[in-house]
Amino acid sequence: MSQNTDLSPLFQPFACKSLKLRNRIVMSPMTRQFAPGGVLVEEVDDYYARRAAGGTGLIITEGTAVDHPVAHYSAKIPHFYGTSALARWRSVVAAVHAQGGAIVPQLWHTGLARRRSHTANPELPNISASALTEDDLTRDAANGTAPPSDKPRRPAEPMTIADIDAVIAAFAKGAADAKAVGCDGVAIHGAHGYLLDQFLWDRANRRDDSYGGSLENRIRFAVEIVAATRAAVGPDFAIMLRFSQWKSQDYTAKIGATPDALAAILQPLADAGVDVFDASTRRFWEPEFAGSPLNLAGWAKKLTGKAAMTVGSIGLDGEFLAGSGAATAGSSTARLGQLAEMVGRGDFDLAGVGRALIANPDWANLVKAGRFDALRPYDASAHVKTLEQTEAA
């Protein structure tokens, strides 16, 4: 990286309603599964607090299950409901605040992506917009050429109106609880082929009622969740919403193939109460539509006027950056100047850092100080299975 590269836009304060951030660096939500029975282990306090102490402005927690029987991905996913689980989240929030950081929980329902055999209630069927499995969607993405699963899954049960109402209420309750335990806002997971996205995505939503068919109908579920969340937390509590074009079952999928189509999805969500759009992409530097340099977060901000966050391989080395190998000033930091320039010109407001923050709790402070040679490369074998400070070894 050139000595003249200006990274200062990444370290300017940001404010949006209840969010008051010291900089634009955000820890993206990353599933860790250190919550047996849905209750976080005590080490999670230090895990998140270390990232706040390391200069991260905002922490978005790993996906947390809302209060619905089949919301969770596995038995080790943290709940955001229940006395014991919420007491642990209150402790995490206090630990992050003590280090000068802000924190919001990501509320999650996995729908047909739930791993029934890994849950505490595998006898209950998954639910979704339609009677499908993830294998069905994967075969669709491969034009029917994908081999059949060696462990066929039971199709999800199509959600009844009562199911829909119950899940909407669960998200609203989770948001109210987030406010009650002292969080700085709340984030809703509407991306990556999970439940909300299963309604948005035409391939996963094959309903013929008011929640399926037309785009207006397919977005209704997500819009009603946001509206109920807003009603539960009031006008001044920040609501974030994660969305994506890509799905876990199909990286090439799109819910909005043109700017107009994307606007038809995002604007009703903004009107319902979203303050910040978390636009999930795999590589933040890639333009979303031909003829414009804007990425997906840039388009979300342009189309709605709301704040936006980008994410996608920030701080990683290897094929995602203009270099390879270990982190150095000339390779794995090569994209940071581009990121700062995009923030500085107002394309989007926040930058979500994922795996690089697993490897480097002090990532923000190291980048701000220009200590790029101290950045440690992400190593899944060393960093995924523990919350301890092995990243400093």
| Residues classed as catalytic | 194
DSSP assignment string, 107-163: EE--GGG--GGGSS-TTSPPEESSS--HHHHHHHHTTT-SPPPSSPPPPPEEPPHHH
Distance, CA of 169 to CA of 287 (rounded, Å) = 36
Look at the chain and count its residues: 393
**Interatomic CA distance for residues 109 and 224, integer angstroms:** 15
Phi-psi region of 312 (alpha: psi -120 to 50; beta: other; left: phi over 0): left
What tokens does 183 get? 């969080």
Look at phi and psi of residue 152 and say left if phi exceeds 0, alpha if psi is from -120 to 50, else beta. Answer: beta
For residue 338, the Cα-to-chain-centroid distance in whole angstroms is: 22
Give every CB contact of residue 208 below 8 A, 6+ residues apart in sequence.
Answer: none
**Is residue 17 within 8 Å of 238, Cβ to Cβ?**
yes
C-alpha span between 294 and 314 (Å, rounded) = 16
